[in-house]
């Protein structure tokens, strides 16, 4: 029986920007298989799990604090033992690759998540329990910090599992050169306040627009437009944090200064990326 059709009880759930999802389940005495085609799954046992094993391979048994990693497209089968509670974090391939690039300067093409079963990490267990599972997910004031804490869990997961160094060097020829990447980053940083055209970026790289878009995503784990939007949102967050209460600009002015077409456009994009509106973010950082 597929996990999605099992008797697992969804105790609580929380959706974050950029497609990341957080779920907590309970289950007992069931045989299930797990397979997700498009998303990676990080699973942490919170309670019980002592008689739970994988049946498609030889494996140890679960226990509180043990974690599993099921990459997108992988298959696993499980015999669920006694009552247990566990947490799932669902995230996309582009998301984890951007984290690796932005936080560890790792080429996205080198990020390949392994299939892990009942691994143990004291640091991951502490982060997952104290930074995520022990919080009230329904409290709106907690949700931005929960998003940050879940991201920290995934960053520590990257540190724990590392990245797969591809042996075939020819695979790394695809993508933009380091020099070209630096040029693009500098250009976008200098021009994010205005509309930036794909043709400008392609010309700067010496490529056709179609070829440039493909090479950009390989190098940055993001489309050009999504990357530019992320830069604008990041700049806006820094600006709001640095506000002087006596001389705050209006939201409409902020939108124009950060490359958004209107205040409402800025609000929609900011909430999609950060999880709250610029006004709510201002109150949280007052």
Q: How confident is the model at residue 123 (pLDDT cuts 50, 70, 90)?
A: confident
Domain residue ranges in the chain: 3-161, 169-284
**86, 40, 43: which is closest to 68 by C-alpha?**
43
Parallel, antiparallel or unpaired: strands 9-15 and 53-54: unpaired
169-284 belongs to CATH 1.10.10.60? yes
Confidence (pLDDT) at 57:
92
Percent of the chain predicted with pLDDT > 90: 59
pLDDT, greater one: 270 or 106:
270
pLDDT digits (tens, 9 = 90+) for 21-40: 999 999 999 999 999 999 99
Q: How confident is the model at residue 246 (pLDDT cuts 50, 70, 90)?
A: low
Confidence (pLDDT) at 18:
85
**61, 9, 7: which is closest to 30 by C-alpha?**
7
Position 169 pLDDT exceeds 60: no
Position 140 pLDDT exceeds 90: no
The torsion region of residue 219 among left (phi > 0), alpha (psi -120 to 50) and beta comes to alpha
Compute the average pLDDT of residues 118-132. 90
CA separation for the pair 208, 101 (Å, rounded): 25
Domain 3-161 and domain 169-284, same fold? Reply is no
pLDDT, greater one: 33 or 107:
33
DSSP code per residue over 166-195: -S-GGGGGSS--HHHHHHHHHHHHHHTTS-
CA separation for the pair 132, 239 (Å, rounded): 28
Confidence (pLDDT) at 175:
82
Mean pLDDT of all residues belonging to the chain? 89
C-alpha distances in Å from residue 158, one per residue of 61, 162, 257, 264:
23, 5, 35, 36
Confidence (pLDDT) at 179:
86
Tokens of 259: 């490359």
- The CATH code belonging to domain 3-161 is 2.60.120.10
Confidence (pLDDT) at 166:
37
pLDDT digits (tens, 9 = 90+) for 170-229: 445 578 888 899 999 999 999 999 999 999 999 998 889 988 998 999 899 899 999 999
Position 242 pLDDT exceeds 90: no
Confidence (pLDDT) at 55:
93
């Amino acid at each position: 029986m597929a996990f999605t059709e099992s008797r697992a009880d969804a105790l609580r759930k929380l959706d974050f920007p950029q497609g990341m999802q957080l779920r907590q389940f309970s289950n007992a005495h069931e045989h299930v298989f797990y397979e997700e085609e498009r998303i990676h799954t990080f699973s942490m046992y919170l309670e019980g799990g002592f008689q739970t094993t994988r049946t498609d391979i030889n494996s140890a048994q679960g226990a509180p604090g043990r974690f599993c990693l099921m990459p997108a497209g992988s298959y696993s089968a499980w015999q669920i033992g006694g009552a247990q509670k566990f947490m799932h974090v669902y995230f996309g391939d582009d998301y984890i690759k951007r984290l690796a690039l932005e936080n560890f300067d790792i080429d996205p093409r080198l990020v390949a998540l392994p299939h892990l079963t009942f691994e143990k990490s004291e640091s991951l267990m502490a982060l997952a329990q104290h930074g995520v599972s022990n919080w009230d997910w329904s409290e709106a004031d907690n949700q931005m910090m929960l998003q940050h804490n879940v991201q920290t869990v995934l960053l520590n997961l990257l540190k724990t599992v590392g990245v797969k160094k591809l042996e075939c060097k020819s695979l790394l020829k695809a993508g933009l050169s380091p020099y070209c990447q630096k040029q693009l980053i500098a250009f976008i940083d200098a021009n994010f306040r205005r509309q930036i055209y794909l043709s400008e970026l392609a010309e700067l790289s010496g490529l056709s627009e179609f070829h440039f878009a493909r090479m950009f995503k390989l190098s940055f784990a993001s489309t050009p437009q999504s990357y530019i939007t992320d830069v604008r949102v990041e700049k806006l967050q820094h600006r709001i944090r640095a506000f002087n209460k006596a001389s705050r600009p209006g939201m409409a002015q902020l939108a124009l200064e950060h490359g958004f077409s209107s205040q409402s456009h800025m609000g929609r994009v900011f909430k999609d990326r950060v999880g709250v509106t610029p006004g709510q973010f201002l109150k949280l950082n007052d």
